[in-house]
Chains A and B, each alone.
Chain A
Amino acid sequence: MMTKGKSKTPLKLGLLLLLCPLLLWLVLLVILPQLTMLNISLQERIAPRIYEYGFSNYIEFFTEPLYWNTFLRTAVMSIIATVLTLIIAFPISYYIAKMLRGRAKGLLLVLCLIPFWVSELVRTYGWMILLRESGVVSSFLQYIGMTEGPIEFLYTDATIMLGLVYSSMLFMVVPLTSTLESLDDSYIEAGYDLGGNGLSVFWQIIVPHAKPAIVSGCIVVFMLTLGNYLTPILLGGKSSLWFTEQIFTQFITRFNWQQGSAFGVLLLSISSLIVWLGLKLSRQSFSKVMS
């Protein structure tokens, strides 16, 4: 009894010491800010510097077509970008995981990672150099005679999509590759041995095995795309109509923090909703997907 009591006290003290920094960080930097934002979003201005609780900021969002159109557009474009990323990444992951052996495999995976160690700003800048009116692609097309005059590729939805897919690629390729690597060749061989062909083996054996990675990859890509700011602004210019840009405008340009907070809460909600839905549908745990 004595020893038990003795050993328990320092343990508790140690636990408290470990817990304190985490709680401080979590509460002050993660939870409280979000709650403050929620609080501010619920305040409506009735006179200069006088505020009252109400939903007017949210009502404003639903009554002003520009706002919810932007919101919807952001969500839809994010979904398209996620699907495109998946379609483009899957063959590459498969190629790296299953068709390559030894050195080539490691090399290609590192090659996949390199662009993502480089700042997003630099990558987007690279696309601008390539795609603008005086850019490399336009010049090249003129040079080979495909077109008479210079072409502006920037500031279109397709360009925004290209940028979004590019930025998201790693977050799809890496989980897919590692999951496909864990699929033992004998499953694929068994599928063929029992008379299956490429298509049936793909849909019945490879895809079910990769499903967890597909879901977590999609969730992460969707989240990142939805919250992206740089790519739509730089590649889409004025016509980008991205929801994070609206938030920035409300806060920094218009100084309407109440409205901006409401937008922030909305963006956070849809992002969490999609994550939650994805996890629910695939019956996976949040902790697992994130790590």
Chain B
Amino acid sequence: MLNHTDFDLQCTDLVRQFDDFTAVDQVSFAIKKGSFFSILGPSGCGKTTLLRMLAGFDDPTSGDIFIKGKSMIGVPPNKRPVNMVFQHLALFPNMNVSENIAYGLHRQGINKVEIKHKVEQVLARVNLSGSGQKKISQLSGGQKQRIAIARCLVLNPDVLLLDEPLGALDLKLREHMKVELKKLQQEFETTFVYITHDQSEALVMSDQVAVMNHGQFQQVGDPQQLYFQPDNAFVAGFVGDSNKWSATVIDILSDSLQVKTTTGLILYAQKSNEKAFIIGSEVEVFIRPEAIHISQVSTAKADQNQLTATVNNILFDGANSQLLVEEQTSREEIKVKLPQTAEFIHLKKGDNLQISFPKQQVNVFPKLQDK
């Protein structure tokens, strides 16, 4: 068995079965004390069901949940040492800010003087000192977020669960709150379990991310691992931006694979140790746009894929600008990151370019069997 003391939260073989649908399928994981853990997945992947089981609003069909080593099966939500920040926050509209924060403290039967003190303390820590008497409706979106978090953190939970709380915010505020949440988590040293479908939220904030699909964890790792070493086609496609093609293995060399996409584009990929392919395997190929180097002249290097392409479209988006180029022989369209440097500032539609990328950057996975 795992050593319970290092982990705030552990799940073993967690299953939640609805009539003929398995929402959560054999999920096991352990979360280290004081870390920020995200569960990332598309809607309907089972992440909300998983979170609600952790909070006690749903019961697992089988498996167990341990918080600080104690099994939570049969423990009602109001007796669990976890608190939850709801998707729409669920701040009680009939109470002001202080009353909202004090709600849980009152339930613990703490005396009024101490409650007042604790509320002021936590308000100061989320930078909202003096807002105690405000009504919920008077707060801005970001302030509401912080109050919803303060309302939970004032109770010193072992684990804080967050159900996509940033979803309702506009883009600018969301960017800002990502940083703020991360800071709050570090300051309070509480274990956060955060679910989201937004990969940027997960990558920016988390120590560990679990990518979930069809009720199962596809990969658990730190953000860099997920990004650079995806375990399977789903993770590679879901995390980050990619060029993605269906292809067939046409040759296997000593240290690399040769694959051919359906349109006839031929690429070299690094041969990995874990994945064995045979000639003729159906595969999926992923290349990140930023892994592709562009230049006006040929800079052929050994071990590199080297292609000639024509600019089809320039998608200007500041630092995220991309080019859509067409490879000359196969006419396959490829997304390429466009650096905003002097060298490419006069680039226009129809120009010819050399594109190159190392074979280590070409990820090949067995074709995903769609459920």
Which chain A residues border B77 with CB–CB below 8 Å?
Answer: 189, 192-193
Q: Looking at A187, A192, A193, A195, which has the most chain B CB atoms within 10 Å of its CB?
A: A193
The stretch of B86-94, B117-125, B209-217, B358-366 in contact with A is B86-94
Task: Say whether B92 contacts A187, CB under 8 Å.
Answer: yes
**B-facing residues in A160-217 (Cβ within 8 Å):** 184, 186-187, 189-197, 200, 204-205, 208-209
CA distance A12 to B108 in the complex (A): 65
CA distance A137 to B86 in the complex (A): 52
CA distance A208 to B87 in the complex (A): 22
Partner of B84, one of A184, A187, A190: A190
**A-facing residues in B30-89 (Cβ within 8 Å):** 55-57, 76-80, 82-84, 86-88
Task: Say whether A187 contacts B76, CB under 8 Å.
Answer: no
> Nearest B residue to A188 by beta-carbon distance?
B90
Task: Say whether B78 contacts A195, CB under 8 Å.
Answer: yes
> Nearest B residue to A197 by beta-carbon distance?
B78
Number of interface residues of B (CB under 8 A): 27
Which chain A residues border B78 with CB–CB below 8 Å?
Answer: 192-197
CB distance from B184 to the nearest CB of A (A): 18
CB distance from A190 to the nearest CB of B (A): 4
Which chain A residues border B90 with CB–CB below 8 Å?
Answer: 184, 186-187, 189-190
CB distance from B162 to the nearest CB of A (A): 12
CA distance A196 to B83 in the complex (A): 12
Which chain A residues border B86 with CB–CB below 8 Å?
Answer: 186, 189-190
Task: Say whether B55 contacts A196, CB under 8 Å.
Answer: no
What per-residue 1/0 map shows which CB atoms of B100-122 lie under 8 Å from chain A? 00011011100000000000000
Task: Say whether A189 contacts B84, CB under 8 Å.
Answer: yes
CA distance A193 to B152 in the complex (A): 9
Given contacts A200-B107, A204-B103, contact A193 B94 (CB under 8 A): no
Partner of A194, one of B87, B88, B107: B107
Given contacts A208-B94, A209-B94, contact A193 B55 (CB under 8 A): yes
CB of B27 closer than 8 Å to a CB of A: no
CB of B146 closer than 8 Å to a CB of A: no
Q: Looking at B56, B78, B87, B104, which has the most chain A CB atoms within 10 Å of its CB?
A: B78
Given contacts A184-B90, A189-B84, contact A194 B151 (CB under 8 A): yes
CB of B155 closer than 8 Å to a CB of A: yes
Q: Name the interface size band of chain A.
A: 10 to 19
Partner of B103, one of A184, A186, A194, A209: A194
Which chain A residues border B107 with CB–CB below 8 Å?
Answer: 194-197, 200
Partner of A196, one of B80, B87, B95, B103: B103
Task: Say whether B87 contacts A204, CB under 8 Å.
Answer: no
> Nearest B residue to A200 by beta-carbon distance?
B107
Which chain B residues border A209 with CB–CB below 8 Å?
Answer: 93-94
Which chain A residues border B87 with CB–CB below 8 Å?
Answer: 186
CA distance A195 to B90 in the complex (A): 15
CA distance A205 to B104 in the complex (A): 13
Task: Say whether A194 contacts B104, CB under 8 Å.
Answer: yes
Q: Looking at A190, A197, A208, which has the most chain B CB atoms within 10 Å of its CB?
A: A190
> Nearest B residue to A201 by beta-carbon distance?
B78
Task: Say whether B55 contacts A195, CB under 8 Å.
Answer: no
Which chain B residues border A205 with CB–CB below 8 Å?
Answer: 92, 94
Q: List 22 A-B contacts (CB under 8 A).
A: A184-B88, A186-B87, A189-B55, A189-B90, A190-B90, A190-B92, A191-B92, A191-B103, A192-B76, A193-B55, A193-B77, A193-B78, A193-B82, A193-B152, A194-B83, A194-B107, A195-B107, A195-B155, A196-B103, A200-B106, A204-B94, A208-B92
Query: 7 extra interchain contacts, Cβ-Cβ under 8 A, other than A191-B92, A204-B92?
Result: A184-B88, A186-B90, A192-B56, A192-B78, A195-B79, A209-B93, A209-B94
Q: Rank and list the top 9 A-B pairs by shortest CB-CB distance, nearest first.
A: A194-B104, A208-B94, A195-B107, A190-B90, A186-B90, A192-B78, A186-B86, A192-B77, A193-B84
